[in-house]
Amino acid sequence: MSEKRPPLTVLSEDEQAFKEAVRAFAEGEILPRRSKMDEEAKMDPQLVGQFFEMGLMGIETPEEYGGAGGSFTMACLAVEELGRVDGSCSVLVDVQNTLVTNALLKWANQDQKKKYLPKMASDTVGAYALSESGSGSDAFALKLKAEEKGDKFILNGHKLWITNANEAGLFLVFANVKPEDGYKGITAFLVEKGMPGFQVGKKEDKLGIRASSTCELMFENCEVPKENIIGELGKGYKIAIETLNEGRIGIGAQMLGIAQGAFEATVNYVKTREQFGKAIGQFQGVQFQIAEMRTQLETARLLVYNACRLKDAGHPFVEEAAIAKLASSRAAEKIASMTIDLFGGNGFTREYPAEKFWRDAKIGQIYEGTSNMQLQTIAKMELS
């Protein structure tokens, strides 16, 4: 018999108030900047400062370290509401909370927590550096090497497609200390911006989430103190797997937010766009499409919220996280595509938000585990 799951509940008063506060902030501060940031492919640095002021960069961080002392669910609610307005802002906050901070909370020692958690809650952006040119879905085919030398490790190699790289002051970097041992040699390091031999490279020119910085990282005899190893030597693969399992729920929340934003824009548009003497929302063909969009949206929401609740309750959630990410990323792309269809010619222009929602949604089926990898995870869990 499968383990009994706690029932999915509606949001508490505190969660709903928090969600509404983030929505108001996103509409008031991000929306006026959205088009410019997308066109220039650059995050407004003032916004990043406001994320910290709002307490959005350390949602789960305990109050003793300067954080909000909130839940994983609250972190995902913030990611959702930011995604409803702008996917780039959403993923910046997501990586900060569901990947880097989560890894520190679970794996860092007390000295590391005291040193880094207050910074990440107040003024330091974090980045998660796992991917390389030859290690995407095969995440552990790492070429970045770490060689022990006295009280330091010397890192040499490259990372690619690293989110938040331009804004980050702290990088969770995975390197191999014993390449001959394969994944058992992978170790996680905390690398600070400005460490000798470490440099952030070019920013990718992307289809969507353009204001989010996605960059190459270069390590050339980069010196990292031994005390900056997070977790145990050779246990980096475990940190990477478990952190990504949590991070997938965050991406699910981002996709949910994008889908919500696209859906709301569509409903507003079909109520006002007239053809043949009446609003197109009065035509049954359009109404059926709206109903399909709404159904996909709510299905994704229930799956994402359920995965959040399981994680917060300490229950197993790996399969549910994979299901949530798979379903929400598919829903976001489909809903955003239907948004363009219903906007017609206007949907194909940049004067309207439809095409941006679609561009931002596409990445959901690729990063933090492709849809095929989610299918593989789900199948393995069911057949094991």
- Active site members: 368
CA atoms of 49 and 144, how far apart (whole Å): 32
CA atoms of 326 and 255, how far apart (whole Å): 10
Pull the structure tokens for residue 187: 């170790």
Lookup result for tokens 């002051």: 169
- Closest-CA residue to 160 (of 192, 125, 202, 191): 202
Lookup result for tokens 């948004």: 339
CA atoms of 107 and 76, how far apart (whole Å): 21
**Please, what's the largest Cα pairwise distance for the chain?**
79
Lookup result for tokens 């004067």: 351
- Closest-CA residue to 173 (of 212, 218, 137, 210): 218
Q: 161 near 204, Cβ under 8 Å? A: yes
User: 18-34: buried (b, 16+ CB within 10 Å) or exposed (e) per residue?
Assistant: bbeebbebbeebbeebb
Q: Where are the beta strands (DSSP E) in the chain?
A: 125-129, 145-149, 152-163, 168-176, 186-192, 198-203, 214-225, 229-230, 274-275, 278-279
Q: Please name the residues in contact with 37: beta carbons below 8 A apart, sequence gap of 6 or more.
A: 43, 44, 86, 88, 210, 211
Q: 252 near 306, Cβ under 8 Å? A: no
Q: Please name the residues in contact with 166: beta carbons below 8 A apart, sequence gap of 6 or more.
A: 43, 200, 203, 213, 215
- Closest-CA residue to 230 (of 249, 243, 217): 243
Q: Please name the residues in contact with 377: beta carbons below 8 A apart, sequence gap of 6 or more.
A: 318, 319, 322, 369
CA atoms of 375 and 323, how far apart (whole Å): 8
Pull the structure tokens for residue 97: 């909370």
